[in-house]
Structure 1
Amino acid sequence: MFRIRPIYDTTVPVDSQCVEQVQTILSERFPFIAPEEVINLPATLKNPMAKGYRTILFVAERQRKIVQGFALLCHFSDLRFCYLDFLSVSLVHGGGGVGSALYERVREEARALGDTALFFECLPDDPSLCPDEILLRENKARLRFYERYGARPIVNTAYETPLSAEDDCAPYLVADPLDKPFQLSRPRARSIIRAILERKYKEKCSPQYVRMVLDSIPPSPLALRETRYLTETISANRQTISADRKIAVICNHNHRIHHIRERGYVEAPVRIDSILREIKKTELFTLREPRHFSEQYITAVHDKKFVTYLKRVCSTLPENKSVYPYVFPIRNAARPPKELAVRAGYYCIDTFTPLNGNAYAAARGAVDCGMTAAQEVLDGRRLAYALVRPPGHHAEHRAFGGFCYFNTAAVVAQHLSAQGRVAVLDVDYHHGNGTQNIFYERSDVLTVSIHGHPRFAYPYFSGFHEEAGEGPGLGFNRNYALPEEMHGDGYAEVLRRALDFIRDFDPAFLVVCLGLDPAKGDPTGTWSLQAKDFFLNGKLIGALGKHTVVVQEGGYRIRSLGVNAGNFFQGLFEGSRLARSR
């Protein structure tokens, strides 16, 4: 079995390893390719528009990250067309339908980018153009393969004219109309062919050659060659989303063990159910089961004594018994009380976040989901969502509170930071004091929070504009503290500024603390964002084009919770798609 996925850059180590294998296949299968083109492939992916088009690499890989084949797609976003540069399978690991699967994935990408057709070159199957009988047979087989999908050579142009008198077997320009009627006017055909010859082959095609080909294009709309090999084509009219483009969602289904039934406790299990119900209605998600990770990932961001305390106190509490902090040792924090229940205040920032027999287990489950989402991204996926409760962004290095016990987003950011710089964007109504606290003196993890001003919003003591980081972290923490009333348009303007700040930081990874409590009518907030606003916010964030892990935080108005979540992720998916097309 193999999977196909896109590689947009070599930020993630697994992608870098795959690109090295692709370079080997390129050299083996295309011996006449310029060595510098093979060597420069990682740089081409990193700077996709340097040549006037964006390069996207698709790989078919087995387990253990063995590349069986690849396709290299060039997207000319200004002219809205894709050009398939290479499609090949490995001499050693290829076969088994890899070539067909790669081509079908490329066609899907071209459709998703809104392109009118997919273009590529194919050597001719005409003996007068290709006298080599062995090569001619190969060319016929290749054109027969593409004809199954409706792709055929464009006729009545001089595109297949050799570059010089010594050359032969010059390629056809083939067009795949992507299951639509083929319509290509002369002006559009000239624009597309000029772009291919001048941008893709600018070092090979002289201005005189380009002019000759362009002048050969007839006034009438261009046509494809009549079907030569097949009577039926493969139809793919249903627009599906391939597995690699979907958002991996990881949910800690065992979150229900943490159910506080006291009146007014809004952090309830129904929150996850309502979100899951709505997002399942879309085709955007693929469900992944959470993996278990060791406690060392938690203690990488949380004090070990704090973690040990939570584990101990939760293990001693009887079923349906909750302990609320009520004594806070501000006079002598160095001497914590011996009684575990009393000591809760030593590690807590408020009086309404209880400890019970399941709090530790549920919080550990949330971290497992976050780490699984992070691993999905490190394995090459673009978007992953940890749909978890309890939330985590209020949990500090050695303190819990605000319904939060362990800071899942911080654990994820810490893990990802080993592979590159990380930006954490918190869009919860309440300030992400825990994440700020954990990374306040670091420059490799940027923390940005958009929230209600602490003069009226929890946690009240942090989230002020002047809190910018300390020591090496100075300038790497930014707070956007907003007024009590805020509508969608005003919020989006602030979000744009925050994203510009993140863009300047240029992280390898983005962690989004997704709060849905900016919604109109949320019992813990005062703002008025609606479904369309969450869609726009998601779209703006997705347009960053980063490997992104979304961690669920707040959001407590059950009636609109799922709809708002669904809209956010539809926007995130759309924004990510647009980022690929630029």
Structure 2
Amino acid sequence: MQVFHNPVHHLHQGRHEMFRGRLVPCHEVPDRLDHVLAELQRRPVGSLHTPPEVTIAELERIHSRRYLDFLAGAWDEWVALDPANAEIDALPSVWPTRSFRHDVLPDNFAARMGLFSFDAGTPLTAGTWTAARAGAACAISAARAVASGTAAAPRHAFALSRPPGHHAGADFFGGYCFLNNAALAVQTLLDSGLHRVAVLDVDYHHGNGTQSIFYERSDVLTVSLHGDPRTEYPFFLGYADERGAGPGLGYNLNFPLPRGTAFPAWRQVLQSGLEAVRRFGAQALVVSLGVDTFEGDPISGFALRTADYLQVGQAIASAGLPTVFIFEGGYAVAEVGINVVNVLQGFGG
């Protein structure tokens, strides 16, 4: 397995996020990736690579140009408002909700930040654009490595990317995510000549961005196991009746599960998701690998244990598909590396 590592991820280091009306320290911290990298060095699953820089044209395969232009210049605009802003992160404060227009692009920075976001828990920092772009490069390079593999060569790769991506839509950020790494990997696989690619999202939180990007497409099946959005973030997407629309009708599959779900029940649902991938006839699989399903995760509610992640990897391997793993959530920082590498080792047998 080839592992593509984001060497500049630490440039995105949020100070605070908004939670229930209070500014609290960010849960999404650089140590998350560092612990995975340290565990990979202790238990190697393959070769470690630094990807080449990604182009704007490659990002535009998923994201709108006006959104990318905003991300690229947002920090400079934020500091230009007041030099003192260099010492604090930018958080949105106003949003165009129901009946508001979304086609306009106001001159006001706060208005544009709200236009391109959906929560106040995702701080934009001086290094966010650089880190997110390098993380996207990991995903694209991992997908290219899988697409160019043969039966005699590795056809599996891991994008050790940060910040995570599955909450980011074509033109919005949130949930700690700015660029949708999984969607970029999927599109790269399709652009390589494949015709049917599946996404398996096992993060505790529903990948609303990934769903929205592919919701009207029949060449991508999106399957997600996650906490029930009636009680769990992101609340407004991830319900079982969301099945796709237009040409994509029937190609989106959500499995919302109650808080407290333990591994035996979770594993049964995983098998149902993998069976759907098989029926779809996927030629490759992209796994949004969140390990915030862990029993000790501070912002999640499932009860998987460290040893269970070996079996998660084994189950995914049973699909027998070329596979790209994308690092997503997991906020029990001390355990995140062990849990991620357990999945990869289980997958590799």
Structure 2-normalised TM-score?
A: 0.91
Shift of 1:356: 2.3
Structure 1: runs of 5+ lacking an equivalent = 1-246, 575-582
Q: 2:29 aligns with which of 264, 268, 276?
A: 268
Cα distance between partner residues in 2 of 1:521 and 1:467:
30
Aligned pairs for 1:481-520 within 5 A: 481-520=256-295
Structure-2 residue corresponding to 1:429: 204
Aligned pairs for 1:210-359 within 5 A: 247-262=1-16, 263-318=24-79, 319-330=86-97, 331-359=100-128
Cα distance between partner residues in 2 of 1:356 and 1:342:
18
Q: Deviations over 1:52-80 (max 9, x none)?
A: xxxxxxxxxxxxxxxxxxxxxxxxxxxxx
Aligned pairs for 1:423-572 within 5 A: 423-572=198-347
**Rg larger for:** 1
SS of 1:450 mapped into structure 2: strand
Q: Indicate how the Cα distance of structure 1 residues 334 and 454 shifts in structure 2: closer, same or farther if over 3 A, else same.
A: same
Shift of 1:529: 0.4
The amino acid that maps onto 1:413 is V
SS of 1:438 mapped into structure 2: helix
CA contact (8 A) 1:377 1:549 kept: yes
Shift of 1:281: 1.7
Q: 2:165 aligns with which of 392, 405, 419?
A: 392
SS of 1:253 mapped into structure 2: coil
Shift of 1:405: 0.4
Shift of 1:559: 2.0
Cα distance between partner residues in 2 of 1:334 and 1:417:
29
Matched, 1:411 2:178: no
Q: Aligned residue pairs: how many?
A: 328
Shift of 1:307: 1.1
Q: Deviations over 1:443-470 (max 9, x none)?
A: 1111111000101111100000010001
Cα distance between partner residues in 1 of 2:67 and 2:345:
38
Shift of 1:266: 0.8
CA contact (8 A) 2:290 2:327 kept: yes
Q: Deviations over 1:220-271 (max 9, x none)?
A: xxxxxxxxxxxxxxxxxxxxxxxxxxx1111101000111123420110000
Cα distance between partner residues in 1 of 2:15 and 2:145:
34
Cα distance between partner residues in 2 of 1:315 and 1:382:
41
Structure-2 residue corresponding to 1:368: 137
Q: Deviations over 1:74-130 (max 9, x none)?
A: xxxxxxxxxxxxxxxxxxxxxxxxxxxxxxxxxxxxxxxxxxxxxxxxxxxxxxxxx
CA contact (8 A) 1:323 1:341 kept: no
Aligned pairs for 1:116-265 within 5 A: 247-262=1-16, 263-265=24-26
Cα distance between partner residues in 2 of 1:472 and 1:437:
14
Structure-1 residue corresponding to 2:82: none
Cα distance between partner residues in 2 of 1:392 and 1:561:
17
Cα distance between partner residues in 1 of 2:91 and 2:168:
16
Shift of 1:315: 3.4
The amino acid that maps onto 1:328 is W
Cα distance between partner residues in 1 of 2:130 and 2:50:
17
Cα distance between partner residues in 1 of 2:55 and 2:9:
18
Cα distance between partner residues in 2 of 1:566 and 1:548:
15
Aligned-pair identity in percent equals: 40
SS of 1:549 mapped into structure 2: strand
Structure 1-normalised TM-score?
A: 0.55
Shift of 1:310: 1.2
CA contact (8 A) 2:3 2:158 kept: yes
Q: Deviations over 1:403-439 (max 9, x none)?
A: 0001011011011113211001000000010010000
CA contact (8 A) 2:197 2:219 kept: yes
The amino acid that maps onto 2:197 is V
Q: Indicate how the Cα distance of structure 1 residues 317 and 486 shifts in structure 2: closer, same or farther if over 3 A, else same.
A: same
Q: Indicate how the Cα distance of structure 1 residues 338 and 561 shifts in structure 2: closer, same or farther if over 3 A, else same.
A: same
Cα distance between partner residues in 1 of 2:114 and 2:77:
17
